Structure 1
Amino acid sequence: MIDYRINRVEGFSDKIGELVSMLVHTREVTLGEIKNLRQDELDYLIDEGSNSIGALLLHIASIEFVHQVISFEERDIHENEFKKWKEALELGPQARNMIRNNSLTYYLEELAQVRQQTLSKLKACNDEWLFKEKHWENGIPYNNYYLWFHVLEDEINHRGQIRVIKRVLSKNKKISE
């Protein structure tokens, strides 16, 4: 059952716990949206320029992974890490061709593996870490709180796309019946 409150989470500092509460809620809603999807539904493309639900799910995992590296390790991703996540990060034509034929279990495992690492790393952080200010190469400041806000907004945004794809799938299913 989804909890519709932002709470502190035991084992985390106050603000980190609130962030974890938001991460957990966001993921629970996403998982509810994709529950029981078949492989053909995960691979469905609305048109030649769209992304599949499967690609969007891997994109969500890839964005979280990249933000782990930036915030916890204070570096950019290495070449091998980029190779693993390239299509999911960039989406587009290559993702449409390469992110296909995977089961829902595959996507759930990828999401869970990345999230487990996030929660493990966040346990070692304190509230001050959230506000630690850094600068992008162009001099623009950011903090870790912003990075993790972006992880949340990215997942929520792509969940909206997943809902649109599901509506089109549902409509097309009714037409073909």
Structure 2
Amino acid sequence: MKTLVKILLALLISVSVKAQNTVGPLDGYTPQVGTLVSMLNDMKNRVERTVGNLSVEELDYLMDDKSNRIGSLIMHLAATEKFYQVYTFEGREFNKEEEEQWGTAMSLGEEARDKYQGHDVQYYLDAYTEVRNKTMELMKQKDDAWLAELNAAGNMNYHWAWYHVMEHQSSHLGQILLLKKRLPNK
């Protein structure tokens, strides 16, 4: 009898506790699109948790003359996602205006090191959030069949493109974590 009570209690607890680390469909999206959006959002949440309490000085820290600032990397994440928005949803690359707004963040390097400094973390996270909100809005207009379609160039399907965005963000999160560990005051 005690074993049965323990099993029922464990089952009750597992049903009443919502899992925090799950990937799956989200309301308002088709199943695969919603699952992809849940993964993208998890990655964004990880970036936000990692940088959320950094000061301007920490965001501006430059480990050496070849590294990037954490602030630049956050802008790079937003710029890359913005590029994939226009590339996958509109079938084009950046226009002149978008290139002026996002080009430096896309290419990083010396120009980005100079441009992206002196801002608080909210400046970077607001840009990232604005781009992500647009991604989520656009994803709601697509379905699972769209994910399997090839882009106009025929070199990738849309599922791979957005998987790449997430994988790219994960890679740069690793850089951010390394830079954060190398901060002088840490």
Report the TM-score, using the length of structure 2 for normalisation: 0.87
Equivalent of 2:138 in 113, 121, 125? 121
- Alpha-carbon shift at residue 141 of structure 1 (Å): 1.8
Query: Max radius of gyration: which structure?
Result: 2
Matches within 5 A, 1:65-144: 65-136=82-153, 141-144=155-158
Q: Secondary structure at the match of 2:156?
A: strand
In structure 2, give the amino acid aligned to 1:152: M
TM-fit CA distance, 1:47: 0.3
Residues 33-80 of structure 1, C-alpha deviations (whole Å, 9 max, x = no match) = 011110010010000111000000000000000000011111111011
Match of 1:8 among 25, 31, 43: 25
Percent identity for Structure 1 against Structure 2: 34
Unpaired runs of at least 5, structure 1: none
CA RMSD, Structure 1 to Structure 2 (Å)? 1.5
Q: Is the contact between residue 88 and residue 151 of structure 2 (CA under 8 Å) also seen in structure 1?
A: no
1:165 has 2:182 as partner: no
Counterpart code for 1:161: Q
Distance change >3 Å, CA 2–CA 63, structure 1 → 2: farther
Cα offset for 1:20? 0.8
Runs of 4+ in 1 over 3 A off after TM superposition: none
Say whether the 8 Å CA contact 2:78–2:128 is kept in structure 1: yes
Determine if contact 1:88/1:95 at 8 Å carries over to the other structure. Answer: yes
Partner of 1:146: 160
Cα distance per residue 1:118-165 (max 9 Å; x no partner): 0000001000110111253xxx62111111011101110000000001
Cα gap change, 1:6 to 1:91, in 2 (>3 Å): same
Alignment check: 8 A CA contact 1:44 1:53 kept: yes
In structure 2, stretches of 5+ residues that fail to align are 1-17
Correspondent of 2:77 among 51, 60, 63: 60
CA contact (8 A) 2:25 2:38 kept: yes
